[in-house]
Every structure is written in C-alpha cells, then in structure tokens.
Amino acid sequence: MPLKFPLRIRFFTHSLPGTHLSYNPSSSVPLLFRIFSSRLNYFEFGSRINFSTRPNRDLPEFERRIRDGGEIRASKSLIEDEEELSNWVSGFRTGSSRGRITNEGEDAGPNVEDRSRGRIQEKRGIRNQVDSFRDKRYGGSKNRDREASFDGRKETSFRRDRDREDYKGLRKREDRRLEDESSDEDVKSLVMGGIGDLLSEDDEEEDEDYEFLKKKAVSAFGFDKEKVTEADKARNANDSYLTKTRFDQYPLSPLSLKAIKDAGYETMTVVQEATLPIILKGKDVLAKAKTGTGKTVAFLLPSIEVVVKSPPTSPDNKRPPILALVICPTRELANQAATEANTLLKYHPSIGVQVVIGGTRLGLEQKLMQTNPCQILVATPGRLKDHIENTPGFATRLKGVKVLVLDEADHLLDMGFRKDIERIISAVPKERQTFLFSATVPEEVRQICLVALRRDHEFVNCVHEGTIETHQQVKQMHMIASLDRHFSLVYTLLRQHIVDNVDYKVIVFCTTAMVTKLVADLLGELNLNVREIHSRKPQSYRTRVSNEFRKSKGLILVTSDVSARGVDYPDVTLVVQVGLPKDREQYIHRLGRTGRKGKEGEGLLLLAPWEEYFLSSLKDLPITKSPLPSIDPETVKKVQKALCHVEMRNKEAAYQAWLGYYNSQKMIGRDKDRLVELANEFSRSMGLDNPPAIPKLILGKMGLKNVPGLRAK
Ligand SMILES: Nc1ncnc2c1ncn2[C@@H]1O[C@H](COP(=O)(O)OP(=O)(O)OP(=O)(O)O)[C@@H](O)[C@H]1O
C-alpha cells in the first residue's frame, strides 16, 4: 500500500543545541504518529546511539595513596532512632523485575519464545492503555476510526490483542505497587516491573515500518543528523550550559525580571533559551536537557507568567483555583522547586506557593491550604492524589489548573507512579499547557509521555545526537571488586578524596534504604563526617539533613535513590555509586548530582564482578575502568572492627533489603540459587558468619521459599 508520510515535521536548529520536533494535528494521517511516534523521535534524537569517541582520560586519581597526616574530619553521624523495620516487602511478588538492564544474549533460555511472545502482548497492552488514555484526552475514538482506514491490519491486530489481553499483565504489575503513602519510597521501584521491561524488545513488524518511515522522513524533510550546526557542536564540546540570551529579551513581567536579577541569573541556560519562546507561544513542551542546567527555572518562569496574566480571584471565592500544578517525584525535589518558585516570586507578593508532600500531616496541609490558598502548588504524586480524594473542595480548585508540570517526567510516567499521575491528569482540565522536563527521556517512556501532552507539543532536545548525556567535565570511573572488599574500598576512596579535596562534598548512593543505613552507620563508626537520607527517615530529618548538606562542605551524604534526581546540592566533588544502579537513567541522574552549572566533578561506580554486565548499558558514556587502589591490612582490620560496632538489627535489615533488591534485578534475580549465594557473600562482607534469618512470610513473598542457603524464621 502506498504510504503517504503523515507528518509535517519542523526542525529548528537555531543558535542553540536545542532541537524541536513538532507535528501537525490536522495532517491527514495522524495514526502513524500515534503508533510510531517514539520511533520517529528515536532516529531524530538518537538517545541510544553508540558513540565511538571516548576521551582519553588520565588514570584516575583514586589509585594514589593516602597522604600521611591528611585531615579527616571526625564527627559522629547524625543518626536518629529509626522506627522499627516495617514489613517493607509486603506486597512483594515473585518474579517482579526491572527491565531496563537487559542483555538479550543472556536472556535466551528454553522459554525464550514464550517469554518474548508474552512481552510483545504486554507491550501492546500498554499501547492500548495509552490509546485509551489519549482517547479520553483527545476524544479520540472518532479520530481512531478515521485513522483506522490507513492501516486496517495494524488496527485489527491492536483490537484483537486488546480483547485477548484485557490488560492482564498491566493490572498484575500495578497490583504489585506498594501502597505506601510516601511517594518516593525507593523500595517501590524495586518491586515494580518497569515499563522498559515491556517495551524493550523489538517487534519485527514494526521495525520494518520504522525503517521505512526513517527513510521517508529523511527524504521528505531533508532531515539528517548533519543539520546539527557547527556552533551547536562547539557548544556541546564545551558543554557550556549558559547562553548569551538575556531574560529581558522575552516578554516577561518586570517583577519576575527583577527577581531573576536578584537571584543572580544573568543570562539564560540552554534549556531555558530553547523552551521559553515555545512555551510563551502557548505550546506544550517535552524537554530533555542535561542535569544541573536550570530546568526548574525553565518551567517555573513561564508558569509564573501564566499566573501573573490570569485575572485575580475574588477574595470571596471559597475555592480559589490552583493555576499552576508542579509534580515532582520526591519530597526533597518538591521542596526545592517551591523554594526556587519563591525566589522567582520575590516581587509578586500576591502569588502564593504551597507544597504538599508525603511524610507530613495531611490535616496540617489541608489547614494551610484553607487559610492561605495558593495559586501554585508543588506536590508529590501520592500525597496529591490523597488530597484529590480526601480534601473537601480540592478537586474543584484543581479545575482551575492552566499549567501542569511533570518534573523528572520519565520517572513520573514510569510504572511506579503512572497510576497516580493518570489520576491527577484526569483531575485537571484538558484545556491546559503541559511541560514535561527531564535529563533522560528513554525511548520506551517517550510514547507514554504523549498521554499528558497535546498533539502539537514540541520536543526540545538539548542533548544532541553525537553528544553524550553526561557532562564532559565530570570524570567517570568504574571499579570492579569482589563484595568482600567493597566496604574497605569505599572507606579508602573516601579518605583519599578527603585528603585531596579540602572542600570535599561527597554523595554515596546505595541500592536500598536499609543498605544506605548500614553504610552510613559504618562510615560514622569510622569517624567520617556522614549524614544519611533515605525513605526510612522521618521527613523532618530528611529536610534538615538535606538543607545542611546543601550549605555545607566537608561532608559525606550517604543516600538511597531519594536523592538521585533533581536535587541541587552545589559543589558536590564526588558521587560514588555502590552496587548496581536501578538502570542507565538512574546512573545518569545520580552522577548528575556533581558537575552542576558547569562545575567539575568525579563519579565512581563500584561493582562486583557479577554486576559488570551493567556497564554495557553505559557504553556510550565516557566511563573508564579504574585500577583498584591498594588497601593496607590495617584499613581492612579497622573496617572489620567498625562493622562489629554496627547494630545487628541494621545488618539483618540490610541483608534482607539487599536480597530484595537483587531479586528484583532481572539478570541476577532469575537464578535464585545464585542470588542466595551472592546475598550470603554480602552477609559475610558485613562480618556475619551466618546469614540472618528471614521471616517465612517474606521469603514466600519474594519467591525464595526453600532456596538452599537461606535461613527462615
Ligand atoms: N539562568 C541561570 N543562570 C545561572 N544559574 C541558573 C540559571 N538558571 C538556573 N540556575 C541554577 O542552576 C542550578 C541547577 O538548576 P536545576 O536544579 O534547575 O537543574 P536541573 O536541570 O533541573 O537539574 P536536574 O536534571 O538534576 O534536575 C540551580 O542552582 C539554579 O538556581
């Protein structure tokens, strides 16, 4: 069948490294975009392209020996009494897994065909759900029927799949979701099957279409990657995040401009310059820009403009509208966005900002919202949903939303949050502007992004094809060492870093909240100046530590993934990631806590030999192998002694959490015998002769009943 190319694609390559893609909703064949939208984006922006150039880097500084007499700041960690270990694995189901870390070769096994068929069906199920959601947003069934005539074969197969599958796979996965009111529980992601899991395998039929469309697009619109200008390339090579464009070159309110000046922002960052004109025109935007390059201001500033331009609400209105709604995946991030909003609102005293986040008293938030109603609301998804369902009049206030922002959009639209986000989107008007921002927009999530955006949205990509998603000025290294050496290594590396950097400021990422606690305890015992943040800490503590770390130097923050995204701690000198990151995106976001605003930084990923496969997902990034520093026997003894002082119950909790995390990692969790061997290796690395016993119920929920090597109680 002759296929007319359906889209009118417009490429801008202005003076920025931001590229925009739009398509015309009135074009005659929109179905293909609906089906292949992600494919089109894929070849345009090439987020998965392997780059051949890897900078030659000097050997890492880590191998240098610790200098005698180096200053080690001694202070106890600020550890507070923690609530009893809750049954965090409740709701855990056997075989749940994250799919981002896949290795097709290793995936092959006797049931590979069945598994792959199942995945394709699930994948279609997801698409169907996207369709149905989009139908709600666009009144799509009419369009769909019209579109169906262009590709009857595909539409029929979609319907058949829809009937057959009835979203079974999806429902099962959503059921697995932990119903914790905290929206940023790191454990949540451990038990979720990710959407990447469902969309990661290619459907051959579509690949052909994709190839066809790719050729068509290039020939019809003259697009090819060389359209990236020399100026763009130069800017990317320098990794400069600032442009020469001033804020006052755009029609912004003078009071906002005054606040911007006070904040010390002289010119726009790349992502601000690339998105502002489009947003001011009233368009929806999906924007991708590197970590620490000012995305928060990029979405807040135009949101504030919308509020400024809205007619004032009558003081008699008992349910004044919320005009701008910003959703962030973590509480820290929500607080940070609200702080930035207040900075920009310095001279707009009549515009109020409020934050609603998990871990605080719902009643208190309700009271605050009642006594001092805001026009801009920053929220985490779980708590926002709570308010929609339980706060009288709140749903009515949301009907006034003119701007919806999803910060860390790819994360919010991934399986862990999607149900809440869908609920939230259905509570705000269809007639609104929507901004989706993130440093990573993986291929498989991009399609889901469309559920929130209008059809004529623009994709602004500030990370061009041919450039890397991380910062050039951040030196990335990885080390491979057996588990029994990890604690000593981390201690040695941190000491060395402290000696080399008077103003050191380090973040150590661990796999789970309980492993984070263990590592923080240990480093505290070793007299390093440590703080910890994870989902098991009370919110007041988290906020206090976060604020302290933001302002401090000479401090190590040991944290779970609650600090992985968005949090803007200035001048972080080193990011250490111990153990497998959840996926490639999480690695990039964690690393992005250093090298912000063009500053230098270092990143180190410490893996065990059996975790080395993860590096294949980073092969386009300039990460180099670092030799292991020598660890003197005295250090080993010191670490062992310190481990003896760590409370037994913390070791038990860490063991259980470790087992849960790696059980959910597809590559490791599928061989239960091996998983248990590794977990017991981890247990020995904590100085335990016998692995801690785990309640039978939890073992059952993990699918680990009767696996040799485990102790049940
Ligand atoms: N135009 C500007 N000039 C100078 N600094 C700016 C400008 N805009 C924002 N900043 C500052 O840059 C820092 C990083 O911004 P922000 O936290 O928004 O980055 P981000 O791109 O959202 O990062 P991430 O991807 O990690 O969330 C902040 O300290 C912010 O105040």
Q: Return d(Cα 14, Cα 20) in angstroms, integer.
A: 10
Nearest CA to ligand 1 atom 22: 295
- On the CB side of 3, CA atoms within 13 Å amount to 18
- Which residue, chain included where needed, has tokens 């999906």? 286
Share of the chain above pLDDT 70, in %: 66
Q: Ligand 1 pocket, 265 CB below 6 A?
A: yes
Q: Return d(Cα 271, Cα 297) in angstroms, integer.
A: 9
Q: Find the Cα–Cα–Cα–Cα dihedral 611, 612, 613, 614, rounded to 10°.
A: 80
Q: Is the pLDDT of residue 319 over 80?
A: yes
Q: Which residue has the higher pLDDT, 445 or 686?
A: 686
Q: Ligand 1 pocket, 269 CB below 6 A?
A: yes
The string of pLDDT tens digits covering residues 362-376 is 999 999 888 888 999
Q: Which residue has the higher pLDDT, 217 or 133?
A: 133
Pocket test for ligand 1, best of 242, 568, 591 (most atoms within 8 A of CB): 568
- On the CB side of 578, CA atoms within 13 Å amount to 30
Q: Return d(Cα 185, Cα 169) in angstroms, integer.
A: 23
Tell me how many degrees the CA angle 494-587-692 measures, rounded to the nearest 5.
65
Average pLDDT (601-614) is 97
Q: Is the pLDDT of residue 144 over 60?
A: no
Q: Which residue has the higher pLDDT, 538 or 371?
A: 538
Strand order in the sheet with 601-607: 530-533, 555-559, 505-509, 574-578, 601-607, 474-480, 623-625
Average pLDDT (640-664) is 97
Q: Ligand 1 pocket, 172 CB below 6 A?
A: no
Average pLDDT (615-633) is 94
Q: Ligand 1 pocket, 244 CB below 6 A?
A: no
Report CA(141)–ligand 1 centroid distance (Å).
Answer: 41
Average pLDDT (560-566) is 94
> How is residue 209 written in tokens?
């279409």
Q: Is the pLDDT of residue 6 over 80?
A: no
Q: Please give the pLDDT value at position 14.
A: 31
Nearest CA to ligand 1 atom 9: 294
Q: Return d(Cα 371, Cα 461) in angstroms, integer.
A: 41
Nearest CA to ligand 1 atom 29: 568
Q: Please give the pLDDT value at position 345.
A: 98
Q: Which residue has the higher pLDDT, 147 or 371?
A: 371
Least confident of 106-120, 184-198, 504-518, 697-711: 184-198
Beta-carbon contacts of 621 under 8 Å, excluding residues fewer than 6 positions away, are 468, 469, 470, 476, 588
Average pLDDT (397-418) is 93
Q: Please give the pLDDT value at position 111.
A: 32
Q: Ligand 1 pocket, 596 CB below 6 A?
A: yes
Q: Return d(Cα 103, Cα 615) in angstroms, integer.
A: 11
The string of pLDDT tens digits covering residues 498-531 is 999 999 999 999 999 999 999 999 999 999 999 9
Q: Return d(Cα 443, Cα 469) in angstroms, integer.
A: 14
Contact 474, 600 (CB under 8 A): yes
Please count the residues of the chain.
Answer: 713
Nearest CA to ligand 1 atom 31: 294
- Which residue, chain included where needed, has tokens 């000046």? 261
Q: How confident is the model at residue 99 (pLDDT cuts 50, 70, 90)?
A: very low
Average pLDDT (446-460) is 88
> How is residue 384 written in tokens?
């926002």
Q: Which residue has the higher pLDDT, 321 or 190?
A: 321
> 287 — phi, psi (to 5°)?
-120, 135
Contact 330, 566 (CB under 8 A): yes
Q: How confident is the model at residue 416 (pLDDT cuts 50, 70, 90)?
A: confident
Nearest CA to ligand 1 atom 20: 292
What is the ipTM metric for this complex?
Answer: 0.99
- Which residues lie across from 406 on neighbouring strands? 327, 436
The string of pLDDT tens digits covering residues 463-497 is 877 778 898 889 999 999 999 999 999 999 999 99
Nearest CA to ligand 1 atom 3: 265
Q: Ligand 1 pocket, 597 CB below 6 A?
A: yes
Q: Return d(Cα 92, Cα 578) in angstroms, integer.
A: 24
Cα–Cα nearest to 511, from 592, 415, 587, 609? 587
Nearest CA to ligand 1 atom 27: 566
Q: Is the pLDDT of residue 312 over 50?
A: yes
Most confident of 50-54, 193-197, 319-323: 319-323
Exposed (0-12), middle (13-18) or buried (19+): which is 207, by Cβ within 10 Å?
Answer: exposed
Q: Please give the pLDDT value at position 359.
A: 83
Q: How confident is the model at residue 66 (pLDDT cuts 50, 70, 90)?
A: very low
Q: Which residue has the higher pLDDT, 26 or 233?
A: 233
- How confident is the prediction for the chain on average, in pLDDT? 74
Average pLDDT (9-19) is 34
Least confident of 54-58, 330-334, 366-370, 566-570: 54-58
Average pLDDT (269-295) is 96
Q: Ligand 1 pocket, 292 CB below 6 A?
A: yes
Q: Please give the pLDDT value at position 448.
A: 78
Q: Is the pLDDT of residue 595 over 90?
A: yes
Q: Please give the pLDDT value at position 467.
A: 76
Q: Please give the pLDDT value at position 444.
A: 74
